[in-house]
Amino acid sequence: MALTATIPARVLVTKIGLDGHDRGSRIVAAYLRDAGMEVIYTEPWQKIESVVALALQEDVDVIGISSLATDHLLVPKLMKALDGAGLGHIRVIVGGIVPDDEEAVLLKSGVSRVFHPGADRADIVDVVARLARDAGANRPDG
Amino acid sequence: MDRTVSDTPRLAARLIEGEPAALARAISLVESDTPAAIDILRAIRPHLGHAVVVGFTGPPGVGKSTLVNTYIAELRKRGKSVGVVAVDPSSPITGGAVLGDRIRMAEHTLDQGVFIRSLASRGALGGLSASAAQVADLMDAAGRDVVILETVGTGQSEVEMAMIADVRVVISAPGMGDDVQAIKAGILEIADILVVNKADQPLALQTCQQLKAMLGLRDLTRRSVPVLCTDAINRTGVGDLADAVEAVAGRVKQRENRSAVAGRTRHLLAQAVAKAAETHVMQSRTQTIAAIVQGIQEARLSLSEGARQVLNNLGGEGHDG
């Protein structure tokens, strides 16, 4: 329809586990907002099952997990939980302090991309936009 | 992002069964105005009318989300299932949004009886997004007993909410300077229930009395509007609020009639026309629109005459936008 604008990507930006350092997640949320995306933002300290419930209710395309104190090691569990809830189409990225050998573990568990300190704003935005399109194309029910 | 739906009837059926994933997906389709949306809305029509739709509005910072959170807890205590539509503003520049209303409702995230959806206003004025009414319908069809609509905190002219909600709750707070002034002109008229939140603060009683005094000046033939004090954080007064909502909802269900529904539809259509016209004017590269703009700039055309010409132009070549 000629008069319909494009649909904004929907992204959940959150933190799991016990790490409360949320400066990074706030900055990324603002980057994505300023790139025209709709960002669902939560407080830190989310449980895995809460992230799954949030992603389901909000019908997001991408989940961004910020981790600065080893909680990224919970992400493989999140990947399994998303799959189990029928949300395997959702793309997950991780940003923060992630050692190289553990990055490999995350990628192997299905994480699409890991961003490290100093990551470029334009790169983050481009990757999230692309992943959102991928997610949309892979939805089980359209 | 063009999303096509492979199996719309099945999605609608799953929604009517109350499946949260289907509800979530259907909301996205309706919000994005996809071709599948109309099929879903048609399929759910026989399943509408179960839910009571309660609107919460008021100026920014009065505690709308916190009060909604406490009200959800009260409804759950009363055995009701709940759907929440929480609207936050989109940037008029980029279209982006940070949706944070549900931060205050985190205690309900894992409760299957509570489904919360954040919507961005996507350019709609009046405190709700254009599709909020339809999203409320989807939650109704999914079997939610109470659907809560929380508007953007713009403080005035939330007449949109008045058109959609069965029960309209207007929230205020003490110590906000002229906020009683702010609500009296625009939205006092639409309130079924007035709430002064943050009742633990010193000026709460005074604000309550000001509101009551203001109501006393109204036409006496109009229905009475209760003024309640709540303290959402400490969870006081919320039982009274739930009772008051139930009382209004009982009255509304009795006088529900078709003309009200038709009026609402007409209003939503008018909104959609305005939105379509706006998109057309802002995005059109045609000579016709440019000439109208120039005419207004050079004071040869009035704004209203220009608008009339745009609408005529829309009828003729509306597909070039």
In terms of domains, do B149 and B88 share one? yes
Last residue in a domain, options B256, B271, B298: B256
A5 located within any domain:
no
Task: Say which residues have a Cβ less than 8 Å from residue B258's Cβ, sequence separation at least 6.
Answer: none
Interface predicted TM-score of the whole assembly (ipTM), two decimals: 0.90
CATH code for the domain in which residue B172 is found: 3.40.50.300
Nearest CB neighbour to A38, from listed B1, B97, B115: B97
In terms of domains, do B224 and B274 share one? no
Q: Identify the CA nearest to B112 among candidates A13, A17, A52.
A: A52
Averaged over A95-112, what is the pLDDT? 97
Q: Do B320 and A139 touch (CB under 8 A)?
A: no
In terms of domains, do B232 and B270 share one? no
| Domain extent for B139 | 48-256
A141 located within any domain:
no
Task: Say which residues have a Cβ less than 8 Å from residue B256's Cβ, sequence separation at least 6.
Answer: none
| Domain extent for A68 | 10-135
Residues β-bridged to residue A40: A12, B99
- Residue B161: per-residue pLDDT: 78
Nearest CB neighbour to B109, from listed A8, A33, A54: A54
Q: What is the pLDDT of residues A13-57, one digit of tens each?
A: 999 999 999 999 999 999 999 999 999 999 999 999 999 999 999
Q: Is B138 on the interface with A (CB under 8 A)?
A: no
Number of domains in chain B: 3
Q: What is the pLDDT of residues B182-225, one digit of tens each?
A: 555 666 778 899 999 999 998 888 888 888 887 777 766 667 88
User: How far B109 CA sits from the closest chain A CA (Å)?
Assistant: 6
Q: Is A139 on the interface with B (CB under 8 A)?
A: yes
A79 located within any domain:
yes
In terms of domains, do B11 and B127 share one? no
Number of domains in chain A: 1
Preferred mutation among B19, B82, B98, B311 to probe A, highest tally of A CBs within 10 A = B98
Q: Do B117 and A43 touch (CB under 8 A)?
A: no
Tell me the DSSP string of B73-92: HHHHHTT--EEEEEEEPPPT
Q: Is A138 on the interface with B (CB under 8 A)?
A: no
In terms of domains, do B14 and B162 share one? no
A3 located within any domain:
no
Longest dimension (CA), chain A: 49
In this structure, what DSSP letter does residue B45 have? G
The residue ranking higher by pLDDT, B140 or B284, is B140
Task: Say which residues have a Cβ less than 8 Å from residue B112's Cβ, sequence separation at least 6.
Answer: B20
Q: Is A50 on the interface with B (CB under 8 A)?
A: yes
Q: What is the pLDDT of residues B100-157, one digit of tens each?
A: 889 999 999 999 999 999 999 887 666 677 788 899 999 999 999 999 999 887 654 4
CATH code for the domain in which residue A44 is found: 3.40.50.280
Between positions 244 and 283 of B, the ones with CB within 8 A of A are: 276, 279-280
